[in-house]
């Protein structure tokens, strides 16, 4: 249980939502699809700052994601301090050097070729914010009692999806960056050992030179990702 006190089952009414007609529903689904079609990972950020409150609100939205037994096994550390971003970049590039020198293996490196990624990560300093996502392998109450978490990767993945979507909805762009390995983030962010860093989201506005690799525009067609059994 994530709470120190025992919580009894108690059914509550749903939060109020406006009733939506079928036509409106289709419109809403299409409008959201159109919005999401404009999302792309960027690797060149402008120096336009982003207010901390926007980051707070987007992370608050991520925190509303569903999770196994509602244990919410995540923590987000948002870094704006230039010196700390420089340390993250230096440590990430040190890992990336080994990765691109062969640790990744040929197949992985070939898969990355059309994306155009490499060792140099200036965006980790250019982006006004780096949000480090941690997955809590087990939980810890404030009084230090350990408890089990369930479906941790699934829950953290969903919350991160909420976060990326919230950032995009707020007009921001991001880069999902996964240096491999990334344990150095525990030290830099001062997070406990039982929290596993899973990714860094570099967040901000695109620079005028920002581009999208053509390969990233190729998405699987709907009939390949969806089976309707009616």
The single residue among 40, 168, 191, 205 that binds ligand FMN, judged by CB under 6 A, is: 40
List, in order, residues 6 or more apart from 54 with CB less than 8 Å away: 170, 172
Binding mask 114-143 for ligand FMN (x = CB under 6 A): -x-x--------------------------
* Residue 66 or 116 with smaller CB distance to ligand FMN: 116
Give CA–CA dist 217/167, Å, rounded.
20
Question: Which string of DSSP letters, residue by residue, matches 23-49?
Answer: HHHHHHHHHHHHHHHT----S-B-S--
List, in order, residues 6 or more apart from 116 with CB less than 8 Å away: 213
- The residue length of the chain stands at 230
- Using the rule CB under 6 A, give the single segment among 12-20, 50-58, 169-177, 187-195 that binds ligand FMN: 169-177
* Residue 55 or 124 with smaller CB distance to ligand FMN: 124
The single residue among 4, 110, 141, 176 that binds ligand FMN, judged by CB under 6 A, is: 176
Alpha-carbon torsion 25, 27, 32, 36, what sign? positive
Q: Per CB under 6 A, does 86 bind ligand FMN? A: no
- Using the rule CB under 6 A, give the single segment among 59-67, 129-137, 140-148, 175-183 that binds ligand FMN: 175-183
Q: What are phi and psi of 130, to 5 degrees?
A: -120, 120
Per CB under 6 A, which of residues 44..73 are in contact with ligand FMN?
none
Q: Per CB under 6 A, does 211 bind ligand FMN? A: no
Give CA–CA dist 190/224, Å, rounded.
43
* Residue 55 or 175 with smaller CB distance to ligand FMN: 175
Residue ranges in contact with ligand FMN by CB under 6 A: 40-41, 43, 115, 117, 175-178, 199, 212, 216
């Amino acid at each position: 249980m994530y709470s120190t006190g025992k919580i009894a089952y108690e059914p509550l009414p749903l939060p109020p939502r406006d009733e939506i007609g079928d036509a409106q529903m289709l419109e809403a689904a299409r409008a959201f699809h159109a919005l999401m079609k404009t999302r792309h990972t960027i690797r060149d950020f402008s120096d336009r700052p982003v207010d901390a409150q926007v980051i707070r609100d987007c992370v608050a939205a991520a925190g509303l994601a569903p999770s196994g037994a509602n244990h919410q096994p995540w923590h987000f550390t948002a870094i704006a301090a230039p010196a700390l971003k420089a340390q993250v970049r230096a440590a990430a590039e040190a890992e990336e050097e080994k990765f691109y020198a062969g640790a990744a293996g040929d197949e992985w490196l070939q898969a990355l070729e059309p994306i155009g990624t490499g060792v140099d990560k200036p965006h980790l300093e250019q982006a006004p914010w780096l949000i480090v996502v941690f997955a809590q392998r087990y939980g810890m109450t404030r009084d230090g009692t350990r408890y089990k978490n369930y479906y941790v990767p699934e829950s953290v993945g969903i919350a991160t999806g909420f976060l990326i979507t919230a950032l995009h909805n707020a007009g921001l762009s991001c880069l999902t960056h996964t240096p491999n390995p990334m344990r150095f983030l525990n030290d830099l962010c001062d997070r406990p050992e039982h929290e596993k860093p899973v990714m860094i989201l570099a967040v901000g506005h695109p620079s005028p030179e920002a581009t999208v690799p053509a390969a990233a525009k190729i998405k699987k067609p709907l009939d390949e990702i969806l089976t309707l059994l009616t």
